[in-house]
Chains A and B, each alone.
Chain A
Amino acid sequence: MRGIFITASVALWLSLLLSLAVLQTEDASRQVEVKNLLATEKIAYTWNDVSEELPDVLDVKIEINEKKASFKDNLPATANFPEALGAFETFIKNHYAPKKLQFSFEPQPSSTPPRIHINPLGFYYKYPSWDKTSLEVNSSMQNFAFLQSLTVNLNITSHDFNEAFSGLCAGGDWDSYTTCTGGTTYCLSLNLNIEDRQGTTYQSTCTPLDLDYENIIVIDLINETSTTQLTLRFGALSNRLFSLERPQTTVNSTLELNFNTTAFEAELDLNLIVKDAETNRLKNGKTTP
Chain B
Amino acid sequence: MKKGFVFTLDAIIAFVLAIIVLGALAEIRADESGGNNRILKLQQTSLDVLNTLDKDGTLNNLFEQTDEDATTTLETTLNELLQAKLKGRIKIDTYQYETGGTCTTCTLSGSTPTNNFCHCRSFNTPLIAKSPAASSKRVFYYSNNKPTVGIATIQVWQE
Contact = CB atoms under 8 A, between A and B. Distances in A.
Interface of A: 1-2, 5-6, 8-9, 12-13, 15-16, 19-20, 23, 27, 34, 45, 49-50, 52-53, 56-59, 78-79, 81, 83-84, 87-88, 90-96
Nearest to B25: A23
B8 A95 contact: no
Contacts of A57: 141, 144, 147
Interface residues of B, number: 34
B36 interface: yes
A5 B10 CA distance: 8
Given A20-B25, A23-B25, A52-B54, A91 B11 contact: no
Interface SS of chain A: helix
A50 B115 CA distance: 18
A2 B95 contact: no
Interface stretch (B65-73, B77-85, B132-140): B132-140
A95 B11 CA distance: 62
B116 interface: yes
Contact of B4 (A1, A13, A78, A95): A1
Nearest to B26: A23
A13 B97 CA distance: 66
Interface string B16-29: 00100110010001
A50 B54 CA distance: 12
A90 B115 contact: yes
B139 A19 contact: no
Contacts of A12: 11, 14-15, 18
B157 interface: no
Contacts of B3: 2
A8 B144 contact: no
Nearest to B142: A56
Contact of A50 (B8, B139, B145): B139
A87 B147 contact: yes
Contacts of A45: 47, 136
A12 to B, nearest CB: 5
Contacts of A5: 4, 7-8, 10-11
Contacts of B102: none
B25 A2 contact: no
Contact of A13 (B18, B54, B114, B137): B18
A5 B7 CA distance: 6
A1 B117 CA distance: 81
Given A20-B25, A23-B25, A90-B116, A84 B147 contact: yes
A9 B22 contact: no
Contacts of A83: 147
B149 interface: yes
Given A78-B145, A92-B139, A96-B151, A1 B97 contact: no
